[in-house]
Amino acid sequence: MIHQQSGNNQASQQTVGDNGATVAGWWRPIVLFGVLIAVLIISKIFSVTDHIEGLKGWINGLGVLGCVVFVLLHIAGMIAALPRMAFAFAAGVFFGSTVGIILVVIASTTGACVTFIIGRYFARQAVAQWVKKSRKLSRLYELTEKRGAHIIGIARLLPVSPANLLNYAFGLTKIRFTDYLLYSFITMLPGTFLYVLTADALATGLREPTIPLAQIIVAAIALTIMIVAAVCILKTIKPQVSNRPNKSGG
């Protein structure tokens, strides 16, 4: 009886810990957004905006080559587990909304697939060690085995940390590559629209006296979709997260 109660207490503490980690994860994109906005404002104050515009003109002058270089850098960043949001923000600043969204969709989807393939076929043992050492990764791995689509959706919609390392961990699961590709593509779209449109709107607002209201509205819609979809998914998987199997013997 005491052994069973101890096991239940341990499971409860682990659940609280995971929930706390999830809540804490919300601050990461907020901080990053704040830093990026601060950089743009400081750039405006110290007239760095002109240099940014010059860099933007140079990148656009490269034409297709500039787009290809950005996509390759974005993919390399995902392989290195760098924040996808930073690249999406840069795309909005330097390429604008339309081209930026297209480039980020291509790069983020490709990067997610490349890391998945690396985890499944080329670095399986190393990734397995990562998963074993991280309680959070282990738990997400277990949930992915049961609810693959839902966990992939959560990883794309919420600031789950370490998000890009999860791409490697997904490669260890039984989920089919085509399903992984489809779920990743769909659930990354709202975040892509939000980050790119917000960056473009901020850059335009600092450069011109008017703020593009249409972009702000679409970005707000994308944020709403992210929140609603994440809440629905979390409600769906909540029973399996709360009712964890008791591994204690009794």
Query: What's the average pLDDT block by block, 10 residues per block, for the chain (250 residues)?
Result: 44 42 50 65 63 74 90 93 88 93 96 92 80 69 70 77 74 86 93 92 78 86 89 76 48
What's this model's pTM, rounded to 2 decimal places? 0.75
Tell whether 1 is covered by a domain: no
The predicted pLDDT at position 204 comes to 82
- As for how many domains the chain has, the answer is 1
In a domain, 247, yes or no: no
**What's the rounded Cα separation, in Å, for the pair 53 and 51?**
5
The Cα–Cα gap between 113 and 127 comes to 15
Q: Specify the pLDDT at position 33.
A: 62
- The confidence score (pLDDT) of residue 110 equals 96
- Asked if residue 116 belongs to a domain, the reply is yes
Residue 68 lies in a domain: yes
DSSP assignment of 147-207: SHHHHHHHHHHS--TTHHHHHHHHTTSS--HHHHHHHHHHHHHHHHHHHHHHHHHHHHHHH
Q: Could you tell me if residue 248 is inside a domain?
A: no
Answer whether residue 77 is part of any domain: yes
Q: Which residues 6+ apart lie within 8 Å of 132 measured at CB?
A: 138
In-domain check, residue 249: no
Domain that holds residue 135: 6-242
Q: Quick one: angle between helices 163-170 and 148-157, nearest 10?
A: 160
